[in-house]
Structure 1
Amino acid sequence: MAARAAGLSAGFALDLAFADPRRHHPVALFGTLARRLEHGVYADSRARGAAYSAALVGGTTAATLGARAGLQRLPGVGPVLAELGLTTATTFIALGGTSLVREGDAMAGLLDGGDLPGARQRLSHLCARDASNLSEPDLARATVESIAENTSDAVVAPLLWGGLLGAPGLLGYRAANTLDAMVGYRSPRYEQFGWASARLDDWLNLVPARIAAFLVFIVTGRREALTTWRRYARLHPSPNAGPVEAAYAGALGVRLGGSNTYEGVTEQRGVLGDGREVAVADVARANRLSRQVSSAALFTAAGLALTIGASRGARR
């Protein structure tokens, strides 16, 4: 378990140094495989969608378990080096924190420079909402909300599942999260087929999202993060994005949520917080907070791994 904690730390450092590979990222390859399988098995059916999700998430987890067992049997490797090496590699694969803050930096630069057309186009790197008519404050709000939600989804959750289950937890979670992004949103095509993928992602993020929201309070020391979370999170349509975005709103002293448009459909989402309107400068503040929460999540996940190891040792 010490090797697992060290592997999480090493993979986190690799993500800080290199971010996501621009080409041949394993997650992109998984997405290609998932899309091909979807073409072969798609039906407007929850049962068919559940089988699709189970095959891909279960297959990814089983393959990672097999890889770990195989590495352990190699001469001169053994369980400790296998755990260290595989956890390092899969943590690097699963995390998206550095790429996230780089996108936030890019949006901040475009907004600071008054390049609204460029910022509207760039927003698609962070979220799927229609940005064609968004104003500068709307673009800043969308960026802060995306940074908050994705800090939980792309950093806190994979680290915690890695601390709990190691490499299979890291890649199994990332597979589920990727499928949610591909087929989990509500649309005529995916309302039934993507139901299981969306529910699985909700379940896997249920605890990590709340830990992420609590870490916002821990790293900032602002009680508003807790009070805004408690008062407003339930207004958000997502059970997991709500707590994190509300905590960010309270910590930054801003007001998030409101009206968003996706594929021509406008959703009236709850307003989170009672602070001021989001300003361009808040994007950089949200990025700094993302880095702080990510670092705190690493310590939490490593501590979880070490605690599990100590508990096992005590039982022996």
Structure 2
Amino acid sequence: MTLLIIITLALTLDYFLGEPKRLHPLVGFGALADGLEKWLNTKNGLFSVANKDLLLKGKGVLALSLAIGPIGFMAYSLEQTLAPSAVFSILAGAVVLYLAIGWRSLIEHAKAISIPLILGDLSSARVAVSRIVSRDTQALNEQEIATAATESVLENGADALFAALFWFIVAGIPGVVIYRLSNTLDAMWGYKNPRFLHFGWAAARFDDVLNFIPARLTALSYTICASLNGHTTNAWQSWRQQAGTWKSPNAGPVMAAGAGAIGVILGGSAHYHGQEQQRPVLGAGQPPMAKSIDDACTLVNYSLALWLIVMAAISILSKVS
């Protein structure tokens, strides 16, 4: 029951306050990560090409450890120090979890795209979608904007909300802190380009490991909640048949199940850094439109309600038994 109280408090803080506009801890962590990357992401001229790549992977492991290890230990120490006081433990857990999730921010970013898209203001919608996706957005049409935004909402529902909740439930304050820092490093270093291909390997793989179970729980949640609009079979089949075709082992199940749950087709052609990429098709149904973005937000909200209901049921049953 304590976990449910903490999570409810954190969600309430996020709902009413949103992300801190100033002095967010992740901003400071990002500066630390930038400093570590500039210091360690260099090749030593004494090594062969193959050994340079291996050296960069080793430096990436070191950077990951230096970035996460001390802060993770501080989070563990904080939790242990406050453990004797139920009140302080609850308050600290709620504040840390609030800083680690992005529920309201996700919905706000989505609305900033869907509203101008409904009004036919493609220029504003392109600007808004450029804030949450890495693809080229300058020439996107209405359907392409809706596709990009819907994909982002579904995927970030797992990354920004459910994975953070999962790791808080499993490992408390240090669990959610380590997860959020890992996810941030993956966003900063996890690119397959010449600069980060080897150096960012450790951060990307560590984030994959931490997201493996939460991503599948999110896909399951999307599939269960699809029953509200009669798309359960669609979501399940999309998950099982299409998830493995996606380049990301964790985004694939989440996006496939989510696309099937709201009855749209995602994937297809997209431009990244001036180059066209043909991506596998996910989901089944109609091409996305502005309403699909709102449907994706509703699916995330219903899935969150499902998690809270399950947690409440488990708490009640554990007390009864």
Same fold (TM over 0.5): yes
Return the offset for 1:31. 1.1
2:23 counterpart residue number: 24
2:158 to 152, 155, 159: 152
2:100 counterpart residue number: 94
* Mapped partners of 1:234, 1:270: distance in 2: 10
Aligned 8 A contact 2:133 2:152 in 1: yes
1:14 counterpart residue number: 13
Aligned 8 A contact 2:146 2:292 in 1: yes
1:53 counterpart residue number: 64
* Mapped partners of 1:40, 1:302: distance in 2: 47
* Mapped partners of 1:289, 1:260: distance in 2: 24
Equivalences for 1:87-166 in 2 at 5 Å? 87-166=93-172
Aligned 8 A contact 2:97 2:168 in 1: yes
What SS class does the counterpart of residue 91 from structure 2 fall into? helix
**Paired residue type of 1:32:** A
**Paired residue type of 1:110:** P
- 1:225 matched to 2:235: yes
Equivalences for 1:171-250 in 2 at 5 Å? 171-221=177-227, 222-250=232-260
* Mapped partners of 1:265, 1:194: distance in 2: 22
What's the CA shift string for 1:28-68, capped at 9, x where partnerless? 22112211222222235011011111221222211101122
Return the offset for 1:167. 0.8
Return the offset for 1:264. 2.3
Q: What do you get for the CA RMSD once the two structures are aligned?
A: 2.0
Return the offset for 1:300. 4.8
Q: 1:301 to 1:42 in 2, by over 3 A?
A: farther
Aligned 8 A contact 1:8 1:302 in 2: no
Q: In terms of mean alpha carbon deviation, does 92-101 or 112-121 score higher?
A: 112-121
1:271 counterpart residue number: 281
Unaligned runs of 5+ in 1: 73-77
Return the offset for 1:119. 1.4
What's the CA shift string for 1:230-266, capped at 9, x where partnerless? 1111111111111111111111111001122222233
* Mapped partners of 2:120, 2:211: distance in 1: 36
Unaligned runs of 5+ in 2: 44-55
What SS class does the counterpart of residue 137 from structure 2 fall into? coil
Aligned 8 A contact 1:42 1:48 in 2: yes
* Mapped partners of 2:224, 2:283: distance in 1: 18
Q: In terms of mean alpha carbon deviation, does 86-95 or 112-121 score higher?
A: 112-121
Return the offset for 1:292. 1.3
Aligned 8 A contact 2:258 2:283 in 1: no
Return the offset for 1:298. 4.0
* Mapped partners of 1:235, 1:158: distance in 2: 26
Q: 1:302 to 1:27 in 2, by over 3 A?
A: farther
Return the offset for 1:274. 3.0
- Structure 1 residue ranges, 4+ long, deviating more than 3 angstroms after superposition: 297-304
2:52 counterpart residue number: none
What SS class does the counterpart of residue 15 from structure 1 fall into? helix
What SS class does the counterpart of residue 190 from structure 1 fall into? coil
* Mapped partners of 1:100, 1:8: distance in 2: 17
Return the offset for 1:89. 0.8
* Mapped partners of 2:289, 2:85: distance in 1: 50
Aligned 8 A contact 1:159 1:298 in 2: no
- 1:259 matched to 2:269: yes
**Paired residue type of 1:52:** A
What's the CA shift string for 1:111-168, capped at 9, x where partnerless? 1121212211211221111111211100000000000000000000000100011111
Could you state the TM-score of these two structures normalised by the residue count of structure 1? Answer: 0.90
**Paired residue type of 1:10:** L
**Paired residue type of 2:148:** A
Return the offset for 1:79. 4.2
Aligned 8 A contact 2:3 2:169 in 1: yes
What SS class does the counterpart of residue 21 from structure 1 fall into? coil
Q: Identity percentage over the alignment?
A: 35
Aligned 8 A contact 2:234 2:283 in 1: no
What SS class does the counterpart of residue 205 from structure 2 fall into? helix
* Mapped partners of 1:123, 1:200: distance in 2: 28
